[in-house]
Amino acid sequence: MWLASPLCPSAKVLERHQGTERRNHLLTRSRFLPRKIPRSAKILLKWRKYLVLILTPILLAPLPIAVPSPEARCAYCILLMAVYWVTEVVELAVTALLPLVLFPLLGVLGSKEVSTPYFKDTNVLFLGGLIVANAVEQWNLHKRIALRVLLLVGAQPRSLMLGFMLTTAFLSMWISNTATTAMMVPIVEAVLGEIKNENIKNQLEKNNEAKSLEDLDQIDEAVPQQGSFQLGDMNDDNEKAENKKTVTLQEPEITREKNENDAGFRYKKDERTSAVNLLREEEEIEAAETEYYNKLCKAMMLAVAYAANIGGTATLTGTAPNLVFSGQVNSLYPDSPGFSFASWFGFAFPQMVVLLFVAWIWIQLMFFKINFRKCCHKCFCCCFRRRSQKKDDKSTQAIKQVLVDQYKSLGPMSFAETAVLVHFILLALLWLFRDPKFMKGWAILFEKDYVRDATVAMSIAFSLFVFPSQRPRIFAPDGSMNKPPPGLLNFKEMSKRFPWNIIMLLGSGFALAEACKVSGLSKWVGTQLANLDAIPSYAIVIIVCIMITTFTEVTSNTATATIFLPILASLGEEIHVHPYYLMLPAAISCSFAFMLPVATPPNAIVFAGGHLKVKDMAKVGFGMNILAVTVLVICVNLYGVPMFDLHNFPDWAGTGGGGSINSGNVTLVCRNVTIS
């Protein structure tokens, strides 16, 4: 447009101007950047992993040499693994194998003692949960559930975003957040692509309409104005007046009805808009629509990533830090009641629902103008099945059609999908009602503490390997099935997709917790942090959550939980605060990684889509971190305290004596008192 105008400079002038700007830009950069990176620096950058791998144990070696004690040797191993985990010089699972080597060599734990934590009850629970999740993924049951939920919530952008978040969070409760995000992103891309296509179609229609209006203006200029003129033979000057005919022309009024896209325009002959102004308005509308589409893409992608991270906190098997917490509680406090699937779900699920709704509102505030009254009205209509009188626009219908087509492509629900769904529901019910606390569970039918959540998980997992994937037809007259059908799962195929690295990470965390307890490092760390008893307990929780939320942005959430939870347990013992009061919010905070693409796999998956920049994730994620910590702290103090009696120091957490602790952290302790 601009190059074709008469005011456009010549191509040579433009080329000369662009060349000057480029030279000035290069000169400006050369003032601040080195002309050439030294060769030694290039070598160090290429071999930096090996430098960290070799130099870290050497630089940490003075610790066990200067302080020859079990605590120092245990601290040496933990610091070495922490550096390797943060820098990721080797795979996380490979670093997780170091306790099997270092603890026996340094005399911290024997080989037998350090090997046992790698396959504890909690690891078996996680193993069974992953096998069930593998079956759900293999038979595409998760995709069917996702598409069905999206069809129910509607195709409006805000409703669609909420539908994506609800679906992603629900699936992330049962299968890995990585698999959930990887499955949801293509569906989001398909919906966004349909929205873009509809915008292009609408723009073409507007351009054609504008062109027709311009043609009408040109025709109108060629036609005389309203009035009359005479028809006759112009060459016959002597034609009589009575032979002349008079024709009156009425000018048709050219109007364009107002609609939501015209921004109040009304075209008439006496208020005619020029073609240039019309095209300018159309360009502004197109730019606004493009900006809205880009924001919508960013919002949808972040919504899926946030929902995957948040949803995993609702169940004990939803994400690895939850199991690290449960396993370390069982290891450090064998006499404690521990956490079952039902007890964790009772606390974490309401917190997850509240945080998911907060995230939905926050994303809208960051990218769109939100009308709370309109949103509440839509939610009310959705909840009570009221349909708006206004018909869906073309874009909404197209989005619905995309979802319907994808759902139809799955075909009718097969026998295998039904069988997996029954196993899945049975697993959830058995977990919830094994020991629901508010009533006697079915576990009382067996020996006390013999049947746990891991027993249920492995029972369902075993059934998935032997249950037929097709309806058995033993007595079929046509002999169509002479051999038994295969099971729902095949171990060889399942093992190829199984995340064995998570099992290794969990095992290393339990081994570190056991080493800290046996060597006395936990007690020493707690003693050093004893001065924190002057700070109110709720303030300590806030500090801990912020610290862990920041730390998990740059390292694995499993490694973060493994490093910090034993320290927090020791801190709670020393300042006589219930260990759960510090460890529970810390474990959940390990999943609050919203700022960086490298923080968690869901963030990396949505970032790879190309719609987001690092600054977009950091800007929205920073506020999301603050909101998540706020919601978590409120939930812990609102209903977590009465649920787990967190304001009273338990007897099973005493370290040499202890008494009842009230919310003001008043303690009465008697130690080593001798009466002669």
Q: What is the pLDDT of residues 444-473, one digit of tens each?
A: 888 887 888 889 989 999 999 999 888 877
**Is 0.75 topped by the overall pTM?**
no
Give 484's pLDDT tier (boundaries 50, 70, 90).
confident
**Residue-by-residue DSSP string for 585-643:** HHHHHTT---S-TTSSHHHHHHHTTSS--HHHHHHHHHHHHHHHHHHHHHHIIIIIHHH
Q: DSSP class of residue 70?
A: H
Give strand pairing partners of 246: 230
Q: What are phi and psi of 222, to 5 degrees?
A: -80, -20
In one letter, which amino acid is 544?
V
Q: DSSP class of residue 652?
A: G
Give the orientation angle of helix 70-87 with respect to helix 500-519, to 10 degrees.
150
Which position has the token pair 């060597």?
Answer: 519
- The tokens for 45 are 């950058």
Question: Highest mean pLDDT: which of 6-15, 29-38, 251-260, 329-338?
Answer: 329-338
Which of 267, 269, 265 is closest to 251 using CA atoms? Answer: 269
Q: What are phi and psi of 248, to 5 degrees?
A: -100, 130
Q: How many CB atoms lie within 10 A of CB 487?
A: 17
CA distances from 587 to 102, 580, 590 (A): 26, 10, 5
Asked if 327 contacts 289 with a C-beta cutoff of 8 angstroms, the reply is no
Cα–Cα distance for residue pair 59/339, rounded to 1 Å: 40
pLDDT tens digit sequence for 278-300: 556 666 656 656 777 788 889 99
Give 247's pLDDT tier (boundaries 50, 70, 90).
very low
Cα–Cα distance for residue pair 576/667, rounded to 1 Å: 7
Q: How many CB atoms lie within 10 A of CB 198?
A: 17
Which of 600, 578, 580, 551 is closest to 651 using CA atoms? Answer: 578
pLDDT above 70 coverage of the chain, percent: 72
Which position has the token pair 């067996």?
Answer: 446
Q: In the prediction, which pLDDT does 100 show?
A: 93
What's 300-341 look like in SS3? HHHHHHHHHHHHCCCCCCCCHHHHHHHHHHHHHCCCCCCCCH
Q: What is the total residue count of the chain?
A: 676
Asked if 176 contacts 501 with a C-beta cutoff of 8 angstroms, the reply is no
Give 481's pLDDT tier (boundaries 50, 70, 90).
low
Q: How many CB atoms lie within 10 A of CB 91?
A: 12
Torsion 404-410-411-415 (CA) sign: negative
Q: In the prediction, which pLDDT does 199 show?
A: 59
Give the orientation angle of helix 579-589 with respect to helix 557-574, to 10 degrees.
160
pLDDT tens digit sequence for 640-653: 999 999 988 998 88
What's the mean pLDDT in 374-401? 54
pLDDT tens digit sequence for 579-627: 999 999 999 999 998 988 878 888 888 888 778 888 888 999 999 999 9
Rounded (10°) CA dihedral 532, 533, 535, 540: 70
In one letter, which amino acid is 94?
V
Asked if 455 contacts 475 with a C-beta cutoff of 8 angstroms, the reply is no
Give 563's pLDDT tier (boundaries 50, 70, 90).
confident
Between 100 and 266, the more confident residue is: 100
Give strand pairing partners of 573: none
In one letter, which amino acid is 69?
S
Asked if 451 contacts 398 with a C-beta cutoff of 8 angstroms, the reply is no
In the chain, what is the straight-line distance between the N-terminal and C-terminal CA atoms, in Å? Answer: 103
Which of 613, 127, 24, 631 is closest to 353 using CA atoms? Answer: 631
Q: What are phi and psi of 450, to 5 degrees?
A: -85, -40
pLDDT tens digit sequence for 208-231: 555 555 555 554 554 444 444 444
Which of 79, 657, 579, 69 is closest to 332 using CA atoms? Answer: 579
Chain-wide mean pLDDT for the chain?
76
What's the mean pLDDT in 410-422? 89
Give strand pairing partners of 230: 246
pLDDT above 90 coverage of the chain, percent: 21
**50-59: Cβ within 8 A, 24+ apart:** 50/89, 52/83, 52/84, 52/87, 52/89, 53/84, 53/89, 53/90, 56/80, 56/83, 56/84
Between 238 and 397, the more confident residue is: 397
Give 556's pLDDT tier (boundaries 50, 70, 90).
confident
Task: State yes or no: pLDDT of 2 exceeds 50.
Answer: no
pLDDT tens digit sequence for 332-372: 888 888 888 889 999 999 999 999 999 999 999 988 766 55
Contacts of 498 (CB under 8 A, 6+ apart): 130, 131, 134
CA angle centred on 322, ends 316 and 326, rounded to 5°: 85
Cα–Cα distance for residue pair 645/631, rounded to 1 Å: 20
Cα–Cα distance for residue pair 105/84, rounded to 1 Å: 19
**Residue-by-residue DSSP string for 219-251:** HHHHSPPSEEEEES-TT-TT--GGG-EEEEEPP
Contacts of 170 (CB under 8 A, 6+ apart): 145, 149, 311
- The tokens for 603 are 């963030």
Torsion 333-334-335-340 (CA) sign: positive
Q: DSSP class of residue 625?
A: H
- Taking 3-state DSSP, the helix, strand and coil percentages for the chain, each rounded to the nearest 5, stand at 65, 0, 30
What's the mean pLDDT in 314-328? 90
Cα–Cα distance for residue pair 310/181, rounded to 1 Å: 12
Which position has the token pair 């170091």?
Answer: 98
Contacts of 296 (CB under 8 A, 6+ apart): 157, 192, 195, 367
Q: In the prediction, which pLDDT does 558 show?
A: 86
Cα–Cα distance for residue pair 507/562, rounded to 1 Å: 10
